[in-house]
Amino acid sequence: MFETGHFATLWRNMAQRLGFEPELIESDWRRGADPAAMEKRLAEDTNHEIKAVAVVHNETSTGVTSRVAEVRKAIDNADHPALLLVDTISSLGSIRYEHDAWGVDVTVSGSQKGLMLPPGLSFNAVSDKALEAAKASSQPRSYWDWEDMMGPNDSGFFPYTPATNLLYGLREAIDMLEEEGLDNVFARHDRHAEATRRAVKAWGFDIVCMNPDEYSSALTAVMVPDSVDPDALRRIILDDFDMSLGAGLSKLKGKAFRIGHLGDFNDLTLAGTLSGVEMGLQRAGIDYQPGGVQAALNYLAETAGSAA
């Protein structure tokens, strides 16, 4: 497992509680899963004791998107049979992701981020190899057993009472994504993310993500100087403008805040969001360079019509 941030760490904790022996490749929460480090570690594992590689595609705590296709290549280069497990909860429907083409074995996602729905649905895409591994495993399971789900699914049923209302919502969400066209949806997120980064840089702040190849198009995490309390800023923006920004979590607590730009979002909602941040910076008396919103608006104007 790669320690890309808070969500990767939660997966590690869950694996530990389930009795596995996860090994975390540690990191500073400012970059994605490192394919070279993975290849090196897997090549050392000549007895194939490592059963799976687990990666969070879009690390929501840091705004870093890992290069899953390159992680796949690293596993193949090491000629290792480990399964590739990927969390796409905050990327699916916002950032390009290819379960089949990238040779992922298990993809996990949820309804509550880019699919624009309330929480309550989760999805798995599962390769034949992973199904075989599940069958061969003696690990106890019940609610999460794929076999229980797949039998009734063949005839359109669920083994438990399904969240029918959310399935109707999902149908509409998928229609919305298909009406816009997935390529356009991804381009819209890329463009809004770039506009956001221009605003952040114009304000004079750093982006948490250190590697431009790994910038997230779903959200941007902003580093603030030691003199700035990001939670006080978030409080002012919430109280005065009714806009809720993400906090810095765990290692980034008190050091960063997060601007979401995923899902049902357009140029005006982005402009409103960034205006809320800039008004908050001013109101909180923070030392920043004005003009972030203008930098974002300029970029949106230059690229108008190219997407969205």
Query: What is the contact surface with ligand PLP in residues (CB under 6 A)?
Result: 7, 56, 60, 87, 89-90, 110, 113, 119
Q: Kindly tell me which of 39 and 87 has the beta carbon lying closer to ligand PLP.
A: 87
Strand partners, 307: none
The 3-state DSSP class for residue 115 equals coil
* Of 232, 212, 34, 188, the residue nearest 96 (C-alpha): 188
Q: Kindly tell me which of 89 and 202 has the beta carbon lying closer to ligand PLP.
A: 89
Contact 3, 25 (CB under 8 A): yes
Give me the phi and psi of 298, to 5 degrees please. Answer: -60, -45
CB atoms within 10 A of CB 157: 11
In the complex, the smallest distance separating the C-beta of residue 108 from ligand PLP, rounded to whole angstroms, is: 8
In the complex, the smallest distance separating the C-beta of residue 188 from ligand PLP, rounded to whole angstroms, is: 19
Report the distance separating Cα 272 and Cα 294, nearest Å. Answer: 12
Within the chain, residue ranges assigned H as helices are 6-17, 35-44, 68-77, 128-136, 146-154, 164-180, 182-203, 230-241, 267-283, 292-302
Amino acid at 136: A
Strand partners, 52: 83
Give me the phi and psi of 33, to 5 degrees please. Answer: -60, 135
In the complex, the smallest distance separating the C-beta of residue 57 from ligand PLP, rounded to whole angstroms, is: 8
In the complex, the smallest distance separating the C-beta of residue 110 from ligand PLP, rounded to whole angstroms, is: 6
Q: Kindly tell me which of 113 and 234 has the beta carbon lying closer to ligand PLP.
A: 113
Cα dihedral sign, 49-52-58-61: negative
- Residues in the chain, overall count: 308
Q: Kindly tell me which of 118 and 119 has the beta carbon lying closer to ligand PLP.
A: 119
In the complex, the smallest distance separating the C-beta of residue 304 from ligand PLP, rounded to whole angstroms, is: 30
For residue 211, the 8-state DSSP code is -
Q: Kindly tell me which of 72 and 113 has the beta carbon lying closer to ligand PLP.
A: 113
